[in-house]
Amino acid sequence: MKAARMAATTPRLTRAPMRNTTVSTALFERAQSLFPGGVNSPVRAFKAVGGTPIFIARGQGARVWDADGNSYLDFLGSWGPLILGHAHPDVVAAVQAAARDGTSFGASTEREVLLGEAIRAAVPSMERMRFVSSGTEATMSALRVARGFTGRHRFIKVEGGYHGHADTLLAASGSGVATLGLPDSAGVTPGAVADTIVVPFNDEAAMQAAFEANQVAAVIIEPIPGNMGLVPPRPGYLPALRRLCDAYCALLIFDEVISGFRVSRGGAQALFGVRPDLTCLGKVVGGGLPLGVFGGQGDIMSAVAPEGPVYQAGTLSGNPLAMAAGLAVLRKLDQAAYDRLDALGQRLEAGIKEALATTSVPAQFHRVGSVFTLFFCAESVTDFTSAKRADVGRYARFFHAMLDRGIYLPPAQLEAGFVSLAHTEDDIDAFVAASREALVASR
């Protein structure tokens, strides 16, 4: 019965229509002479999936158009920031209005106060904060604050946890690095990571052992890791981290650069009911403009210059355009918005699971709200070691089969996809229909 219904509604396409890539290919040629790998951030180069990266000409809502005029339903969303989709009219208007008043002053403006207050109201653990221009700066600075505040040097991160590209944090750091097959980065000295302790994710005993063997300033962790693919924490894992940090007088830093304002208005800390000492935000909070934030308990943040001894600064920090975009996005993110995102996520999950069942492809589908990863492996994925067992060759074939069917996914297996408020039920159904074919085509 089910097969008959599907046959009636699904076109029996075995081959996707040819996609013209002439302009993208020519641009990529020129880009390669300018930029290492032809890109300004490594995963954009399609190294993990092969082929020529697309050059995007514009985006509107849930859709992007490449330089050759091909259009795609976008399930990457600029790697997470675009929770409202591309070029949302409110965001565009807010940025235009801010730009008319001047793009940067290197002095304080009202919008910083407004966005700061909006963030604190949504994420109460961020009693005080500082704006920076990227997630990398947020995590790097939060870590410096934790070390300055506690007077300790060592910190713990988990294997496959990505916290931007600061030297001290580039150890066993997931997706981009793992995708390139580099155990670490060249140019990061042993000294820079000498105080970086790496333990497996979701392993409370390993975390406890690391605390017992070291003087620990902080644990820095994505509460819902999204850079080894999406791998949710086991029940009880995050509360255990909170207890360990309290017992050893260390700070708990949640890197919510992906999960902040994405999985709920209060981020993963609201979802799991665990209050970190410091939080790092980026991506969604900047509405597609360069913005990061770190903040936390008031007395800890008092350690930051000029109030305290921990130096931290930025010429473009609190940038008016980024503040305006952030404010415009946060205004849209009420409970109804998260309910909507979850409903779309559920629809996608149900559809893809049915497609997996009918095609008998061994895979694990993970989802938290509007964030998802499809791992091509038969065993469950709970940490970086199990995530790395996923079949990257099959993912690469799936990725291209989807791209040829007009669906733009993360160009690497160990990354997360994103649904936005601009997606419709029809867009989700188009994703599912394309997956049904792509799962077969990528076998």
Ligand X SMILES: *Cc1c(COP(=O)(O)O)cnc(C)c1O
Shortest CB 229 distance to ligand X, Å: 12
User: How many Cβ atoms from other residues are within 10 Å of residue 56's Cβ?
Assistant: 16
Shortest CB 253 distance to ligand X, Å: 11
Closest CA to 176 of 48, 81, 280: 48
Query: What one-letter code names the amino acid at 179?
Result: T
Q: Is 167 a catalytic residue?
A: no
What residue has token string 């007088």?
249
Q: Which run of H or E residues covers position 272? A: helix 267-272
Which residues ranging from 329 to 348 are in contact with ligand X (CB under 6 A)? none
Which residues ranging from 395 to 434 are in contact with ligand X (CB under 6 A)? none
Query: What one-letter code names the amino acid at 226?
Result: G
Quick check: 163 binds ligand X (CB under 6 A)? yes
Rounded CA-CA distance 291/398 in Å is 32
Quick check: 258 binds ligand X (CB under 6 A)? yes
Which residues ranging from 183 to 242 are in contact with ligand X (CB under 6 A)? 222, 226-227
Closest CA to 74 of 314, 367, 424: 424
Residue nearest to ligand X (CB): 135
* 7 CA to centre of own chain: 36
Contact 239, 425 (CB under 8 A): no
Quick check: 326 binds ligand X (CB under 6 A)? no
- The smaller minimum CB distance to ligand X, of residues 116 and 286, is found at 286
Q: Is 248 a catalytic residue?
A: no
Q: What torsion, rounded to 10 degrees, do the Cα atoms 308, 309, 315, 317 define?
A: -50
Shortest CB 137 distance to ligand X, Å: 7
Q: Which stretch binds ligand X (CB under 6 A): 28-36, 244-252, 255-263, 341-349?
A: 255-263
- Out of 162, 338, 375, 395, the only residue in the binding site for ligand X (CB under 6 A) is 162
Q: Is 353 a catalytic residue?
A: no
Shortest CB 170 distance to ligand X, Å: 12
Coil, strand or helix at 295: strand
Shortest CB 108 distance to ligand X, Å: 23
Rounded CA-CA distance 364/390 in Å is 9
The conformation of residue 173, written as its DSSP 8-state character, comes to -
Q: Please tell me which residue in 47, 157, 283, 388 is annotated as part of the active site.
A: 283
Tokens coding 363: 């895979």
Q: Compute the half-sphere exposure of residue 124: CA atoms within 13 Å on the CB side of its CA.
A: 4
Shortest CB 435 distance to ligand X, Å: 24
Contact 196, 134 (CB under 8 A): no
- The smaller minimum CB distance to ligand X, of residues 135 and 287, is found at 135
- Out of 53, 232, 282, 345, the only residue in the binding site for ligand X (CB under 6 A) is 282
Shortest CB 326 distance to ligand X, Å: 13
What length does the chain have?
A: 443
Q: Which stretch binds ligand X (CB under 6 A): 28-36, 160-168, 299-307, 369-377?
A: 160-168
Contact 263, 101 (CB under 8 A): no
Quick check: 164 binds ligand X (CB under 6 A)? yes
- The smaller minimum CB distance to ligand X, of residues 262 and 347, is found at 262
* 67 CA to centre of own chain: 25
Q: Write each residue from 114 to 153 as x if it is in contact with ligand X (CB under 6 A), else as -, in one continuous string.
A: --------------------xxx--x--------------
- The smaller minimum CB distance to ligand X, of residues 268 and 441, is found at 268
Quick check: 319 binds ligand X (CB under 6 A)? no
Contact 32, 44 (CB under 8 A): no
- How far CA 361 is from CA of 123, 380, 409, in Å, comes to 40, 14, 18
Q: Please tell me which residue in 72, 162, 338, 395 is annotated as part of the active site.
A: 162
Shortest CB 222 distance to ligand X, Å: 5
- The smaller minimum CB distance to ligand X, of residues 53 and 161, is found at 161
Binding site for ligand X (CB under 6 A): 134-136, 139, 162-164, 222, 226-227, 255, 257-258, 282, 292
Would you name the residues annotated as active-site residues? 162, 255, 283
